[in-house]
Each structure stands twice: as structure tokens, then as C-alpha cells.
Amino acid sequence: MDDEPRSVKVLLPGLLLLVGFGVAAELSVSVLGWGTPLIFAVLFGAVLSNTYGVPKSLEPGVDTYKLLLEIGIVLLGASISLSDVIDAGPRILGLTLAVVAFGILLVEFLARYVFGLSGRAPALLATGSSICGVSAVLAVAGTIDASENDIAYATATILVFDALTLVTFPIAGSVLDMSSVAFGIWSGLSMFSTGPVAAAGFAHSQTAGEWATLTKLTRNSLIGLVVLTYSFSYSLGSDKRTSPRTFWNQFPKFLIGFFLVAAIANFPGISTGFVDTVEMISDWLFVLAFVGLGCEIQAKNLRQTGIRPFLTVLLYLLIMATASFLVVQTIF
């Protein structure tokens, strides 16, 4: 964050862009009669950023998409049936722990022993792939003193795969004829950043979007643990000390809001009118956030990605997506 708070006047132009493209995305679905507004929202944002570019004066407002996405996720809690979560929870938690632990070891192995990467780069790629994309890269980078160069490569690689998986996962889910629940959990386990996971899920169906987000949130909740582990392992032999406070500092706090809203919505006697209204607000926030997400997708990231980090993550994704697909199809 910058040092000085931003006024509404600075944020307004970019926010208006998100709203304008969001309304255009909704209209596109009405006029064409197919697709979902979320996909059009991402598409419009990506077209703008890769052609004319996002004007500097709009950037502060467009950057608020991350906050809009998190509010949308908090409100998505209203759509979650706690009994379903309690029923599927242990399986999802077990799968998530396995994916994160195996994923980190796999990327570290591939990066160091197959593609010859050294230093901090394997750790950044491992956390970016197995936990939650760019935010995990930055969280771990801060605790292991990674170089700017390593951070840039890892971030660019994750962003490229966010864009690639956003397109390929919904197609794969459709070709493989996956059920909504299975596709949602598969995307939540295999893809990288939270925004693209939710976008891919909702591109498949509303139910898939809800399960994709829930599964991804479970993965995100492990970020503190992974940062703590990396921080501890890199501090061995150095003067740096790590503490359990690191776990709390890195914990994604909007998860608390998500479960509070889920608790309100599942309270006996809560009307369906409440759930419908909250779902409508959440849907709109997702549309606005996905315009901003589209603005982050830039073809130039592909050129900035080193070939070895790219191949490391590609091989990881192919192995992990195949393994989690087989497990999810068997269990759910």
C-alpha cells in the first residue's frame, strides 16, 4: 500500500470503468443469449489491457478489484450450506493438505533437480503453485529475503498460468463431462490464484463456482503454515528468528467474514429473501472484480517468464491436475 490514503475522487474513474464493463458484460449475455457475465467481464478487461492499455488515471480504481473480489467471497458465504460443508469438509481438508504438501515437494524437486533452478526461486514457484498464486509468492518472498529478480520471474509465471488455466479448465471440465461439484473441487485444488479459480468455477456453473471457491479458501487458509515453515527452514543457520505470529499475519482474514456470513445465512428462520439479496450483491461484485482481473492479464507476461520456471510449473500442473482429477472423480 502507498503511504497516503486515496480519496474517493482518485478511485472513482477506475471504479466507473469496472461498473461500465460490468454492465456491458451483463448486457452481452442478454443480447447473445449464452455465456456468463463473468467470462465477458474478464474478456473485456483483458482486451482493454492488451490493446489500448489501462490509463494511469484509472489504475487506482481498477486495483480495488481485489477488495471487491474478497467482499464477493465473504458474501458468497450466504450461498453455502453448512451441512454440505460439514459433510464434505474432512475430505476437502484432507485433499487440500495432500495437494499442498505434495505440490510443494514436487515443485521444489522439479525446479532444483530437473530444471536446475537454484536459490529462492524454487520456494517462490512452489508456494505460488500450491497455495494461492501471487499473494503467496509475495508472502514467502518477504520472509526468505528473495531477490527482486526471483520474485519477478515467479510472479510472471504464476500470472501466465492464471490466464492459461482460466481458459483451459472450463473447457477440460466440459470435455471430461465433470459434475458441478467435482469440477469445482478439482479447480479449487489445481488452479493457482483465487480470482481465476472462482471465474473458472462459475463459468462451469453456479454450484461449481461455490465449490471451487470453498476449496480454494481451504487452500488459502494454509498460507500462514507454509510461510511459517519456509521462514523457519530458511532461518536455520542464520540470525533470523520466526514466530507463530507469522501464521496469523499471513492468514487471509476475509475467511472469517465468509464463515460469519455463512453462519448468519444458515441460522434457523433466515428468509430466502435475505439469501437471494446477498447472492445478487455477491454476483455483481464478482462481475466488477473480474473486469479488474481481466485488466491484469497481459500477454507481455509470457515474454517475461523464463523458460525453466515456465516448464517447472507446467509439468507440476499436468501432474497435479491429473492426480487430483482422478482422486476427485473417485471420491465425489
CB of 93 to other proteins, least distance (A): 20
CB of 164 to other proteins, least distance (A): 26
Helices of type H across the chain:
8-32, 37-50, 59-62, 65-76, 82-109, 121-127, 133-144, 148-175, 180-190, 194-204, 206-220, 223-235, 245-250, 254-265, 272-296, 300-304, 307-331
Pick 114 or 256: Cβ nearer other proteins: 256
Pick 26 or 63: Cβ nearer other proteins: 63
In angstroms, the Cα distances linking 49 to 54, 163, 171, 299, 317 are 5, 13, 24, 9, 26
Q: Which residues bind other proteins (CB under 8 A)?
A: 1, 5-6, 66-67, 70-71, 73-75, 77-78, 252-258, 260-261, 264, 270-271, 273-274, 277-278, 281
CB of 278 to other proteins, least distance (A): 5
CB of 243 to other proteins, least distance (A): 18
Residue among 183, 193, 188 at smallest CA distance from 163: 193
Pick 186 or 258: Cβ nearer other proteins: 258
Pick 264 or 314: Cβ nearer other proteins: 264
Q: Confirm if 209 and 69 have CB atoms less than 8 A apart.
A: no
CB of 124 to other proteins, least distance (A): 21
- Work out whether the CA dihedral 147, 151, 152, 154 comes out positive or negative: positive
Pick 120 or 216: Cβ nearer other proteins: 216
